[in-house]
Amino acid sequence: MLRPSTVLRLISIQRVLLRYGLDEIVTATHLFRPLRYFSPGWWRRDSHKESLGARVRMALIELGPIFVKFGQSLSTRPDLLPRDVAVELAQLQDRVPPFPNDEALAIIEGAYGKSVGEIFASFDSDPLAAASIAQVHTATLKDGREVIVKVLRPGVKKRIERDMAVLYAMAGLAERFWSEGKRLHPLDVIAEYEKTTLDELDLLREAANAAQLRRNFEGSTQLYVPEVHWDYCRKNVLVMERIYGVPIADMETLKARGTNFKRLADHGVELFFTQVFQHNFFHADMHPGNIFVDVTTPEFPRYIAVDFGIVGTLSTRDQYYLAENFLAFFNRDYYRVAKLHLDSGWVPPETRLDELESAFRTVCEPIFAKPLEEISFGQLLVRLFQTARRFNMEVQPQLILLQKTLLHIEGLGRHLYPQLDLWETGKPILERWMRDRLSGANVLAKLRQQLPDLNETLQDVPQLVQTLVQQATEGRLSITVNDPGVSALREEISRSARARYTAMAAGAVLIAGALLIGLDVQPEWLGWVVSATGAALLLINRPSAS
């Protein structure tokens, strides 16, 4: 049951779309479709003189932060959108209408408890850039260092929570009534999206993300991360080093500077795989508004990243399966791809391996047969998802950020250098990561890290053995098995309980003897006697052949 506030918000969304002449979207969404037949003329704005892209952009801005971020994501894939729509949506990256200057000043002064003049040597009240969550001003510290001051939009959390309630309501209905709902986990997807979006509202978290990324790429010739000025950072105000670079979308300036676009595009792919697999900490909001280029040396350009509100990490298991999947795709080893999907639990265990392998081959071979500049990883993912539907493959919410980031990187790379070879650039990095992961040095390093915990565990073993022996000899030792298929075995074990307890006691005595020997307990013969006693008990209790 939808809450009245959610229903009202859905109606207001439809009204905004209608006002900007986007009737086709209202029709496509089906919800409140009859509304278009009863809409009074006063709510329709005379926007038809504007292009479709401009109307979409204005509607998203009016609808709020969640919708602006959706438009930002779309803007990173101009290859999948009409040109006028892509151009207009690109403005959402840093040209959202700012909030009033006096509100920004009030937020800053409230955060510090001082006037702006006491905090900064100079402060530009006109924002340098404005986005859906915050806007940025330039300033100079008292020591002369140039900085940017990022200020959270007033009331943004309330607006985001309101629209999240709408998304949750729609996802709940989809999961309950849509045939694909259980497989696609819409509620889990929205929960993951909510987490990353709300994380953006804590600018101290963003500062910490920036500091970590800066450490990861200290001294790098491929990426520069500006310095955080921690003394000036608050939950709703962030102060960082001001950077100067060419916006990645400004192709004319980059061309005029003689930028090596192939190297720049290759570096983008390398940075993605390095962050995901080597550092396991990746910038997950790589739209063009957050990326600049240092062309001091045009032949060796370097990226400059800003806006670190969204970052991603993966579990070790997901890292391994993703790397293996990428390599298998690069090598066109479809059997391996199918087996990895089965082993990881991404498809049901009853799935036939040969059918899954054949389906992946059918999807991928026509794509790999195309010229390089026509191969789109985004299109490949779409085709794979369509194929996966046949096999009830479940969506992995924890991988959504990664998938979005990869699509951003590919879209950016194609924009810079249409002949970008995503496979050739990424494959050596993945192969090196897999070799390092399985190397003896890496295994030994992990063992060294685990030695303190192992030492603590070993110290508890004698007490554990003593407890097991005591419980076994007193008939108080019990083992719980949750597998429903062993009920018959339990009945058999119950009929021979005494033999079981004797065997357990014998095993515990044998383990205790081995520990006494290994720990060099004196007198020396004690360990051997205890071990021999345990072995004798096991032999006596051995079941006879039936």
Question: Catalytic residue numbers?
Answer: 285
Residue 7 vs residues 1, 2, 13, 312: alpha-carbon distances, Å: 10, 6, 10, 33
Count Cβ atoms below 10 Å from residue 429 Cβ, excluding itself: 20
Q: Which two tokens stand for residue 523?
A: 């007198």
Host H or E run for residue 317: helix 316-330
Identify the bridge partners of residue 140 per DSSP, sorted by sequence position.
122, 146
Q: Which two tokens stand for residue 193?
A: 């999206």
Main-chain phi, psi angles of 135, to 5 degrees:
-135, 160
Q: Is 286 exposed, middle or buried (0-12, 13-18, 19+ CB in 10 A)?
A: buried
Count Cβ atoms below 10 Å from residue 27 Cβ, excluding itself: 11
For residues 26 and 18, the answer to whether their CB atoms sit within 8 Å is yes
Residues contacting residue 448 through CB under 8 Å, at least 6 positions apart: none
Query: Token pair 């490949």 is at which residue?
Result: 380
Query: Token pair 């003049």 is at which residue?
Result: 117
Mutual orientation of helices 377-390 and 400-416 as an angle, nearest 10°?
A: 150
